[in-house]
Amino acid sequence: MPEPAAPVRRPLFVVFEGGEGSGKSTQARGLHRRLQRIGLSSLVTRDPCGTEYGRAIERRLKRSKQFPPATELFMFAAARSLLTADVIRPALLAGAIVISDRYAPSSVAYQGYGRGIALGTIESLNRLATGGIRPDLIVLLDIPPDKGLARKQGDAWDRFHHEGLSFHDKVRKGYLEMARAEPYCWTIVDATLPSRTIAALIWARVAGMLSGHFPV
């Protein structure tokens, strides 16, 4: 049997999660800029498209109606494995604060609650894909699906944006159940609030965590 991956010694790993149109990318980039302004080394990435291979997978997945749920799950897991090995783990080992727009919980919400694949199967696959690296903080930007999807009107065709509301309701339910089950590492933020208010709420949580590692 291969030896388990060495534990990662890191300052902080923050993940943004949420349904379509919740503002994850905006808030992830904003947190990255704020950390840089106060002199902390920070890297922002996206799951699954934080590597060249991941970008190719995302393009195929989002533009095709032909992939069954299991294939969708495996493709995301493959991209996540590369992202973790090539981007996230090295950055954490180098001492950077890593911010990711989506990570393993997305598969639980979308392919588990949304598509109906057994949660145990997804959790096992996620452990393998991530090498056991777990976020220190997961920010759930919660928004009613109809409001989030309305923000996406006019965007290019996307298999997830064009799922029915019942699918997105299941995804939202999955996120909320995960967050409530692990309140020590999740924080729920109302994504319908003004962007600056959301950023301030996120910063209050992150700054509190950083105070044990860096002078903030």
Q: What percent of the chain has a predicted confidence (pLDDT) above 70?
A: 91
How would residue 162 be classed by pLDDT, with cut points 50, 70 and 90? confident
CA dist., res. 15 & res. 23, Å (int): 13
Which residue, chain included where needed, has tokens 């493959």? 78
Instruction: Give the pLDDT of residue 8.
Output: 42
CA dist., res. 111 & res. 91, Å (int): 28
Instruction: Give the pLDDT of residue 130.
Output: 97
Instruction: Return the amino acid letter for 156.
Output: A
CA dist., res. 142 & res. 30, Å (int): 18
Angle separating helix axes 69-83 and 119-130, nearest 10 degrees:
20
Residue 61 has pLDDT above 80, yes or no: yes
Which tokens belong to 6?
Answer: 């060495």
CA dist., res. 176 & res. 182, Å (int): 10
User: What is the rounded average pLDDT of the residues 18-46?
Assistant: 96
Q: Say which range, 8-12, 161-165, 211-215, has the weakest mean pLDDT.
A: 211-215
Using DSSP's 3-state secondary structure scheme, residue 176 falls into helix
Using DSSP's 3-state secondary structure scheme, residue 199 falls into helix
Over residues 168-187, the pLDDT tens digits come to 999 999 999 999 999 999 99
CA dist., res. 13 & res. 105, Å (int): 14
User: What is the rounded average pLDDT of the residues 52-74?
Assistant: 87
How would residue 210 be classed by pLDDT, with cut points 50, 70 and 90? confident
* Rounded alpha-carbon distances, angstroms, from residue 149 to 118, 131, 135, 210: 26, 33, 27, 33
